[in-house]
Amino acid sequence: MKATLFHQHGGPEVLEYMDFPTPEPKPGEALVRLRAAALNRMDVMVREGWPGLKLEMPHINGADGAGEVVAFGETSEKTKTGGLETTNLQVGDRVVINPNLGCGKCEFCLAGRDNLCVNWHLLGETVRGTYAQYAAVPARQLYKLPNEFDFHQAAAAALVYQTAWHSLIVRGNLQSHEAVLIVGAGGGVNTASVQIAKYIGAQVVMIGSNAQKLEKAKTIGADILIDRSKEPDWSKAVFVATNKRGVDAVVDNVGTTFMQSLRALRKGGRLLTVGNSGGPKFEIDNRYMFAKHLSIIGSTMSTIHDFREVMDLIVAGKLKPVLDTTFPLQDAATAQERLWKNENFGKITLDIP
């Protein structure tokens, strides 16, 4: 098969478009002929590597992918555990992959909480991913798409919508009468968060780096727009916009902005986080935590149940992935550069030949 892969960590130049053996599906797995992949910032972090990350080289980036089932590994009763068994898929079915790979056997997977799995993997992070013509994944990870549903829309949805849904709805318990602040207007998780918050009826306050991104955020439902290039101390602007009450919840996947986010919350508010695009380490003032009764709630990805729930809303058209640009698979390096420089609004996808 054709794949874009890398033999050593480094900049975009380490990515090579070349032939690589097609994976063989193991028992319980399905082989998917991919038609579209979507990018995530994680792809670039994995390409660059970090201390302790050990990969079997060459590595193939990519958590998100959609395509058609072309084969199944030998079925095995041992793979059918805890309600996570293979669905009724057939060769030829159009599918999107859930990249949150639980083992299917540990106490958390058996309780349906597979993003807490003790042997957890993310497709494309620690195992080879979707920047390729084929991927072999456990069949339970596949969601069957309607025949007319676009592969790029599906690939663009898989990681970010489940992540945003689990954080906002399941962990964050966001309610229809509440106001949520979203820090950053361009990224995939944040555009998904705007749509999910609006879907349940909440008010959305959006902090963006420039007027163009905020204008786009408005078109997908953001109610109150704050331009941080004009309001560097945006927590004050949030306070003013909410009649000095503060917001009920903040989606902050930047990290280095936590102090502003904590200031923008009402008493008893929650800060929700699923990432750290601004860097992993920063200081917070603990007095805000106890004096304002605040909570910081972290999560990663979602459960198989959440994934199916949010994909049902995607295929029903209730939530619509925002697509930025599509590149051919062989131009993955250019695509990653666009993402890393935050030039996108919504998801960047790869067209797989």
Q: Distance of CA 162 to CAs 18, 20, 106, 229, 304, Å? A: 31, 30, 21, 30, 9
Span near Zn ion by CB under 5 A; candidates 93-101, 117-125, 188-196, 267-275: 117-125
Minimum distance, C-beta of residue 248 to Zn ion, in the bound complex (Å): 33
In the beta sheet, which residues pair with residue 273? 298
**Beta bridge partners of residue 347, listed in sequence order:** 323
Beta bridge partners of 123: 127
The correct pick among 32, 38, 109, 194 for binding Zn ion (CB under 5 A) is 109
- Please answer whether residues 235 and 257 qualify as being in contact, where contact means their C-beta atoms are separated by less than 8 angstroms: no
Residue pair 255/273 in contact by the 8 Å Cβ criterion: yes
Among 102, 186, 187, 269, indicate the residue that binds Zn ion (CB under 5 A). Answer: 102
Judged by CB under 5 A, the stretch of 112-120, 147-155, 223-231, 294-302 that binds Zn ion is 112-120
Q: Tokens standing for 281?
A: 């380490």
127 is a contact residue toward Zn ion (CB under 5 A): no
Does position 122 interact with Zn ion (CB under 5 A)? The reply is no
Task: Tell me how far, at minimum, the Cβ of 192 lies from Zn ion, in Å.
Answer: 25
Give the separation between CA 5 and CA 43, rounded to whole angstroms.
11
Binding-site size for Zn ion (CB under 5 A) equals 5
In the structure encoding, which two tokens stand for residue 138, read together?
Answer: 């456990």
Among 189, 180, 142, residue whose Cα is nearest residue 322 = 189
Among 106, 170, 224, 259, binds Zn ion (CB under 5 A): 106
CB 89 to Zn ion: min, Å: 21
Residue 117 Cβ vs Zn ion, minimum distance, rounded to whole Å: 3
Query: Applying CB under 5 A, which part among 43-51, 70-78, 108-116, 142-150 lies near Zn ion?
Result: 108-116
Q: Quick check: 117 binds Zn ion (CB under 5 A)?
A: yes
Burial of 90 (0-12, 13-18, 19+ CB in 10 A): exposed
Tokens of 158: 């898989």
Q: How far is the CB of 100 from Zn ion (least distance, A)?
A: 11
Task: Provide the 10 A C-beta neighbour count for residue 177.
Answer: 8
Torsion of CA 135, 274, 46, 22, to 10 degrees: 0
Which residues, in sequence order, are bridge partners of residue 234?
none
- Among 45-53, 95-103, 138-146, 294-302, which window interacts with Zn ion (CB under 5 A)? 95-103
Stretch that binds Zn ion, among 18-26, 106-114, 154-162, 277-285 (CB under 5 A): 106-114
Closer residue to Zn ion in complex, CB, 81/342: 81
- Contact window for Zn ion (CB under 5 A) among 32-40, 111-119, 172-180, 189-197: 111-119
What are the beta bridge partners of residue 135? 32
How does 23-52 read in b/e, with b if 16+ C-beta sit within 10 Å? bebeebbbbbebbbbbbbbbbbebbebeee
Q: How far is the CB of 110 from Zn ion (least distance, A)?
A: 8
CA distances from 31 to 1, 76, 97, 131, 134 (A): 13, 16, 11, 14, 7
Rounded to a whole number of angstroms, the minimum distance from the CB of residue 104 to Zn ion is: 6
Nearer to Zn ion, 101 or 339 (CB): 101
**Among 44, 45, 89, 103, which residue sits at the site for Zn ion (rule: CB under 5 A)?**
103
Residue 110 or 313 having the CB closest to Zn ion: 110
Interaction site with Zn ion (CB under 5 A): 102-103, 106, 109, 117
